Amino acid sequence: DAGVIQSPRHEVTEMGQEVTLRCKPISGHNSLFWYRQTMMRGLELLIYFNNNVPIDDSGMPEDRFSAKMPNASFSTLKIQPSEPRDSAVYFCASSLAQHTEAFFGQGTRLTVV
Amino acid sequence: SQQGEEDPQALSIQEGENATMNCSYKTSINNLQWYRQNSGRGLVHLILIRSNEREKHSGRLRVTLDTSKKSSSLLITASRAADTASYFCAVLNQAGTALIFGKGTTLSVSS
């Protein structure tokens, strides 16, 4: 397996634009997570899916953020409209279960100008 | 607040020396995990220690867990320049739904 695949690796967008981040988890993993990493706040959990169903979205900062998992092999994180304070590295991770080893993608570095 | 917190925030050592990083957490756990992150990359799982284990080894890594003190330590022996990275501990959040991470220890190993 190629591991968790995220796209794009880098995204630069203007304030107010819609941004969509994509993730392909490892085949067979039931749990999928979106995290955001900044220098100030470290690694923050945004949302957790189990068997494609959102279980915990308490970390999603605002209504501007939304995430979907239409099937077991694909998830998206959308920000609309984007703001400069959304600039961060966004990671997708998957695991067999929520308490087992998590496998991370390489991340998407988002810059909102 | 974060469930796990690493200490120190930064550590600089010479090649060949040992590096020790500590992690404290707040609630009861099923297991505790350590991850490494190289600059510009995703996190990579290093080792998992269960709550009923006190010590675990993997190559040059040694992890200890003291559930009475709610703390863990990661020891890297005979460090190498390639060990330069940030190291994070992770435990389940209070809801038991997902791993949450501390802010990490940045280790710099110079040759």
The residues, ordered by sequence, that sit 6+ positions from A20 with a Cβ below 8 Å of its Cβ are A76, A77, A78
Query: Given this model, what pLDDT does residue B6 score?
Result: 86
Beta bridge partners of B39: none
Residue B39 contacts A, CB cutoff 8 Å: no
Which chain B residue has its CA at the smallest distance from A48's CA?
B98
Residue A73 predicted with pLDDT over 70: yes
pLDDT on residue A53: 96
| Tens of pLDDT, residues A4-47 | 999 999 999 999 999 999 999 999 999 999 999 999 999 999 99
Return the SS3 of A15: coil
Residues pairing with A21 in the sheet:
A77
pLDDT tens readout for residues B15-41: 999 999 999 999 889 899 999 999 999
A37 neighbors A48 (Cβ within 8 angstroms) = no
Best to test chain A binding among B33, B63, B99 (most A CBs inside 10 Å): B99
Chain A interface includes B44 (CB < 8 A)? yes
Which pLDDT score, from 0 to 100, does residue B92 have? 87
- 3-state SS, residue A66: strand
Supply φ then ψ for residue B106, to 5 degrees. -90, 115
How far apart CA A24 and CA A7 sit, in angstroms, is: 9
Under-50 pLDDT residues of chain B: 1-2
Contacts of A56 in chain B (CB under 8 A): 93, 95, 97-98
